[in-house]
Structure 1
Amino acid sequence: MRARKFLLGIPVGGLLLTAAWAVPGWRSNELVLGDLPVAAEPGEELQGGATTVPASGRTSFGRSPANMYRARWPYFHKGKGVFDRDWLDPKFAPVRVGPLFSAASCTTCHDRDGRGQPPSSLVFQLSGPEGQGAHPLYGVQLDPRGVEGTQAEGQAVVAYDEVPGEFADGAPFSLLRPRYTFEELSRGPLGQGARFSPRVSPAVFGLGLLEAIPEETLLALADPEDANGDGISGRPNYVEDDVERRPKLGRFGWKANQPSVQQQVTHALFADMGLTTSLLRDGPGEPELGGQELDALVFYTRLLAVPKRRDWDAPQVLRGKAVFRAIGCGGCHVSGPLETGDVPDLPELSRQKLYPYTDLLLHDMGEGLADGRPDGLASGSEWRTPPLWGIGLVEVVNGHTRYLHDGRARNLEEAVLWHGGEAAPARERYVRLPLEDREAMLAFLRSL
């Protein structure tokens, strides 16, 4: 494929600079954008390394790794059974959800192991005045459902205001800004200064691979003081580990508030369904989800495979990848490969070259996306960089294209246009792209 030069107007300090890219080694006398790819990289289509599965249909997010030992299949299947279980089904009595809960199964929110959409899969995490601690009346999450005889805590209602905008070439766009109100609150108003954070359930595949990336690899990507002056200052979130009782690097959740797959699973069981485990309970007595079933569920969640990319070597997709890197998206959504370390209990995950397009670090995304609710070391405007692998299959698997932490973006382009804070320069560069380059970048994202 021939190298091409694309032009981009970038506003810097009130001046408009013209930059060019996609010619290896090419340098503008106004701005240096470095070497950018004009060809497919060997193995980049295998986003999860040897675990990657060639899937593009409705079950693309629920597959076992391509390199998984056959002897593990029964245990993987057992974990899937727990993941799919409806805990309101009488046959599982006396273990039941609740008495207050948001969902009756993992698949209620993670349909086909994928991504939820508003309003059905929105949960609202709560904090007390000024964002400190659990809410004094409603705890850490508002529960909209209750078992028979138990009154639900309340209902959240979402409405949207249209926010118009325009690309540099004059083409219009519009975004949706959500507004939330709370009704039927059983214990009284949330109160002055209370904080809430709407969260849509993310897809759950590839988590074991992200867990296996060495901590030093991720810390090497951090730049909390922006020492290199690129305007991007990703930093780690450190959170309490329930087992080791010490702070550990957060990797999972919208604000990187969980350090391991096991803890992510146990906290979701407790917060979303009211199910206790040996690691998280609310009183004496036996946990509701036994150790064997919990272990199988965690095993299943750690091993869910990443789907293979489509059209990764198509000319438009390669062009879109160059645009993605040139405008600065790779500053957070790291475009180069990351390698997992040794995973003794799951060798399938060991030493795999990954393309998740994330650094798993916290970044300030500006007031437009801020929820105002601190979480661990994360501020009210910071979010963990979400992985992009599989993002182009959400419509196929889950039947929608709602993105961002609260699902406000109706498509990938709107998700880009909501970026602010550290990502504001990249967003502004995207707005100034010609249509052909915007379409190429979206084609690249759909290939992931």
Structure 2
Amino acid sequence: MHSTLAIALANLLALPGLANSDERSLSVVEGNAQQHEDFAIGGAFFQQPWVIAPASTTARDGLGPLFKANSCITCHVGHGRGHPPLTDTEPFLSTLVKLGIPAHTTEQQAQAQTLGVAPDPTYGDHLQPLGIKGLPGEGTPRFTYSEINGQFKDGEHYTLQKPILTVENLHYGALAHDIQFSARVAPPLPGMGLLESIPEAEILANADPDDTNGDGISGKANQVWDIAQQQTVLGRFSWKANQPSIRQQSADAFHNDMGITSSLFPEQPCSAAQTDCHTLPDGGKPEIPDDLLEKVVFHVANQSVPARREVDDPTVIQGQKLFQQAGCAACHVARFAALNQQPQPYSDLLLHDMGAGLADNRPEFSASGSEWRTPPLWGIGLTETISGHTRFLHDGRARNLLEAILWHGGESSQAQQSVLAMNTTERKALLRFLNSL
């Protein structure tokens, strides 16, 4: 993806705070006319809603029959970070629910090799809450919260919210008795093309699955199924590094979030138990052809990373030192040689055991139920500007960056304890640094 990398590198100099602006991205792209056109067409299909087939809008028909959203932008508002429902009545618009069961039989183990997990026999591996033309959606996910109270060493108190996920109004029978749930907010998109350009060897150089150096950090690579190559490869995208490429992640989202088929996912996500789902009209085979999918992928890959802010501010510099002293940089590594510019992703793209507090207990490929990919931090300080909220972590439970830090456990327990020991001034400096990214 040499052209993609060149365009993404050019976009790194974009004005801060405008990472959701297609017009701004196009104005700084150093590409040819065809690339400009592909970027714009991909953006149109990213933002415009898909409709039920048959329709006069044949290029965008085929929504469902079961689905979660009717457009990419529904989940990735401003190309940014999704969030859980913020009120009791708000639906799970930018949060998906993944399902799975332990793989015991030979068939289940074969499914887990390509899907990452054995699917529920009736509901598959993704919950689709909505349906078309009177077809019932699969079920309604709900969050309730329990509170966890604590305090810093200086005596200041804090409260964390632990989400409890349930699924109500199941329309196709019961879930498996050993069902595994995992709620995931839509991840932010800026910089994905740059992450895809990092050589595999550079990522694996940071892996230490057996903690041979004894520092308590044992990052490991996820090994996932690449549909196009029909082989197991390095995973680097999504919350558990369960996707190998932007193309497959995009096609997966079309398939499981909108019910749009592609060459990578040619069948509708309807189980054998969902008989009516198989009888409804579709938008063609596939519903999004390869040339349009590639344009959407091109658009996603070239979302620019906003420039850092206040880099020379003394408080930001102090916060960066505290970030390093606390051990945060052991996982949120500051630099990849292949990305020899600022900003850096502040991620090793590896899996780390984050402890029981953050565990979803749903393994996925090589990732255990308590392991998560280190999320990149670039652009994190503009979350509220771009996405309109400050919810963080895989299920959006953290209401701000400090809460996200306090949820760290497992391999990051030492860093968490270091933050708990900081005084108010130091905590503010640490947050100023993170908000400068």
The answer to whether TM tops 0.5 is yes
Residue aligning to 1:357: 346
1:147 matched to 2:120: no
Q: Distance in 2 between matches of 1:317 and 1:288?
A: 48
Query: Tell me, what secondary structure is at the counterpart of 1:295?
Result: helix
1:297 matched to 2:296: yes
Q: Percent identity of the aligned residues?
A: 46
Residue aligning to 2:237: 252
The answer to whether the 8 Å contact 1:79/1:296 transfers is yes
The answer to whether the 8 Å contact 2:242/2:364 transfers is yes
* Change over 3 Å in CA distance of 1:272–1:139 after alignment to 2: same
Q: Which amino acid aligns with 2:47?
A: D
Q: Which amino acid aligns with 2:25?
A: S
Q: Distance in 1 between matches of 2:12 and 2:21?
A: 11
Q: Which moved more, 1:400-409 or 1:132-141?
A: 132-141
1:415 matched to 2:404: yes
Q: Distance in 2 between matches of 1:112 and 1:266?
A: 20
Residue aligning to 2:392: 403
Deviations 1:318-340 (A, max 9, x none): 11000001100001000234415
Q: Distance in 2 between matches of 1:303 and 1:86?
A: 21
Q: Distance in 2 between matches of 1:129 and 1:50?
A: 45
Residue aligning to 1:83: 46
Residue aligning to 1:138: 123
Q: Distance in 1 between matches of 2:176 and 2:291?
A: 42
Residue aligning to 1:56: 16
Q: Which amino acid aligns with 2:295?
A: A
Query: Tell me, what secondary structure is at the counterpart of 1:77?
Result: helix
Q: Which amino acid aligns with 1:68?
A: E
1:69 alignment partner, one of 31, 34, 38: 31
Residue aligning to 1:222: 207
Q: Distance in 2 between matches of 1:336 and 1:210?
A: 12
What are the within-5 Å matches in structure 2 for residues 29-44 of structure 1? Answer: none
Residue aligning to 1:126: 99
The answer to whether the 8 Å contact 1:252/1:258 transfers is yes
The answer to whether the 8 Å contact 2:17/2:306 transfers is no
Question: What runs of 5+ residues in structure 1 fail to find an aligned partner?
Answer: 1-47, 341-350
User: How far has the Cα of 1:129 moved from its partner?
Assistant: 4.2
Aligned residues, how many?
Answer: 391
Q: Distance in 2 between matches of 1:282 and 1:135?
A: 17
RMSD, aligned α-carbons? 1.9
* Change over 3 Å in CA distance of 1:413–1:143 after alignment to 2: same
Q: Distance in 2 between matches of 1:182 and 1:363?
A: 28
Q: Which amino acid aligns with 2:31?
A: Y
Deviations 1:241-267 (A, max 9, x none): 111111110000100011111111111
The answer to whether the 8 Å contact 1:61/1:114 transfers is no
Q: Distance in 1 between matches of 2:410 and 2:197?
A: 29
Q: Distance in 2 between matches of 1:59 and 1:91?
A: 33
Residue aligning to 2:89: none
User: How far has the Cα of 1:191 moved from its partner?
Assistant: 3.0
Deviations 1:284-308 (A, max 9, x none): 9720001221111011111111110
Q: Which amino acid aligns with 1:64?
A: S
The answer to whether the 8 Å contact 1:337/1:353 transfers is no
The answer to whether the 8 Å contact 2:319/2:433 transfers is yes
2:263 alignment partner, one of 278, 298, 315: 278
* Change over 3 Å in CA distance of 1:174–1:428 after alignment to 2: same
Query: Tell me, what secondary structure is at the counterpart of 2:252?
Result: helix
Query: Tell me, what secondary structure is at the counterpart of 1:173?
Result: strand
Query: Tell me, what secondary structure is at the counterpart of 2:248?
Result: helix
Residue aligning to 2:81: 115
User: How far has the Cα of 1:149 moved from its partner?
Assistant: 2.0
Residue aligning to 2:107: none
Deviations 1:211-261 (A, max 9, x none): 000000000000111111110000000111111111110000100011111
User: How far has the Cα of 1:57 moved from its partner?
Assistant: 3.3
Query: Tell me, what secondary structure is at the counterpart of 1:442?
Result: helix
Deviations 1:131-160 (A, max 9, x none): 950111100111111112211100011111
User: How far has the Cα of 1:190 moved from its partner?
Assistant: 1.7
Residue aligning to 2:246: 261
Q: Which amino acid aligns with 1:193?
A: D
What are the within-5 Å matches in structure 2 for residues 168-207 of structure 1? Answer: 168-207=153-192
Residue aligning to 1:348: none
Q: Distance in 2 between matches of 1:290 and 1:193?
A: 37
Q: Distance in 1 between matches of 2:78 and 2:354?
A: 29
Residue aligning to 1:379: 368
Q: Distance in 1 between matches of 2:422 and 2:341?
A: 35
The answer to whether the 8 Å contact 2:19/2:306 transfers is no
Residue aligning to 1:447: 436
The answer to whether the 8 Å contact 1:403/1:415 transfers is yes
User: How far has the Cα of 1:58 moved from its partner?
Assistant: 5.3
User: How far has the Cα of 1:51 moved from its partner?
Assistant: 3.1
The answer to whether the 8 Å contact 1:362/1:384 transfers is yes
Q: Distance in 2 between matches of 1:300 and 1:145?
A: 27
More helix by share: 2
Give the alignment's TM-score, normalised by structure 2.
0.86
User: How far has the Cα of 1:92 moved from its partner?
Assistant: 2.6
Residue aligning to 1:366: 355
Question: What runs of 5+ residues in structure 2 fail to find an aligned partner?
Answer: 1-7, 86-91, 104-111, 269-281
